[in-house]
Amino acid sequence: MKSIITDIKNKVNLKNFYFDVYDKSDLQKINRNNPLPHKCTIDFKDFYYYNADLSGLMWLQELDRKLKYNDFVDFYRKGFEEGLKHLKEKEGIKKKDFYNTNKKEELKQILYSFLYVRDFLPNYRGLNDLVNKIPLIWTEKIIYEQGYYNGLLHSILVLCDELCFVIKKKVVSENPKTEKKLTIKQIALKLAYEGINVTDENKNEIIKKYGHNSGDKLMQEFNNVFKTSRRTTDPNKTLKILQNKIELFESIIELLEVEFKQKAIDECKTLKTHLAKY
């Protein structure tokens, strides 16, 4: 078997081993055919892998024993255990919060952001992206982080299962013909309902997908609508301005997936109640 290169203490380079030995091997096929997540139990405590290759590599035994896999497994499962606590301890999100109808939709948008948008680590977009890409340079820190974010992902998926709801990714085409016609105001409002947060890091990337160039303008418009209170408040200027705001909401409702549509409809109705004052 090709040797795994141990560069320095507690750092392992798996690149050559992965591509020369493991990739397309029978072991990889077996691991990938085993439904995710892969469950492991040590000291009566369960932990899970959401990447089949990471699971497979973690348990490989190297002939020359240079790589102490048990050490990495320990760091992974310790990270996993801490990641399970993230929602409650780092985000202040508890299961009981989802039974509050005033908070439920907002919290679902936050979870959507965790799964598909937030950059928990550089060069990764959401937890799904993070766990789907396997690191081939292993250190204690890297494997601990893998365990941590697999633990966070597991806690979110368990929560969704217990609450019987599904958070699906909204796919944005690289060259969306209809979306290119949207104004920046429409794009910002649509993103707000989809739970996609606009930041300094992603504003330019997002706006280019819609055929515009100004990430700063997108972020400005997004900041005007990302909170429910800002979306449903009467502009308190003229009837025309309020009507324009209502028309903006109506224009994006049909662009939203079912899971986001009702919230937009309800908030549009709230806006229309302000018409009586004019």
| Tens-digit pLDDT profile for residues 96-136 | 888 888 888 888 888 988 998 888 988 888 898 899 888 88
The type of residue at 32 is R
Pairing of strands 11-13, 5-8: antiparallel
What is the pTM for the complete model shown?
A: 0.59
- For 194, phi then psi, to 5°, come to -80, -5
Tokens describing residue 258: 């079912």
**What type of residue is 14?**
L
Residue with tokens 């050559």: 16
8-state DSSP, 96: G
CA-based nearest residue to 230, from 260, 182, 174, 189: 189
pLDDT on residue 10: 67
Q: How confident is the model at residue 149 (pLDDT cuts 50, 70, 90)?
A: very high
Q: What is the residue-averaged pLDDT of the chain? A: 83
Which of 185, 178, 183, 218 minimizes the C-alpha distance to 202? Answer: 218
Burial bucket for residue 206 (CB in 10 Å: 0-12, 13-18, 19+) = buried
Beta strands in the chain (DSSP E): 5-8, 11-13, 38-42, 45-49, 137-139
pLDDT of residue 171: 47
- Give the whole-angstrom CA distance, residue 36 versus residue 31: 9
- The pLDDT of residue 177 is above 70: no
- End-to-end Cα separation, the chain, in angstroms: 80
More confident residue, 97 or 49: 49
Res. 270: pLDDT tops 80: yes
CB 70 within 8 A of CB 40: no
pLDDT of amino acid 216: 93
Tell me: pLDDT of 176 over 50: no
Q: Are strands 11-13 and 45-49 parallel, antiparallel or unpaired?
A: unpaired
Give the phi and the psi of residue 193 in degrees, each rounded to 5.
Answer: -70, -30
Give residue 186's pLDDT band: very low, low, confident or very high (50, 70, 90): very high
Measure CA 125 to chain center.
7
Taking residues 87-93, what's their average pLDDT?
Answer: 93
Give me the residues paired with residue 40 across strands: 47
From start to end of 113-258, where are the E strands? 137-139
Please state, in angstroms and rounded to a whole number, the distance separating the CA atoms of residues 47 and 44: 10
Distance CA 133, CA 149 (A): 12
Which pLDDT belongs to residue 81? 96
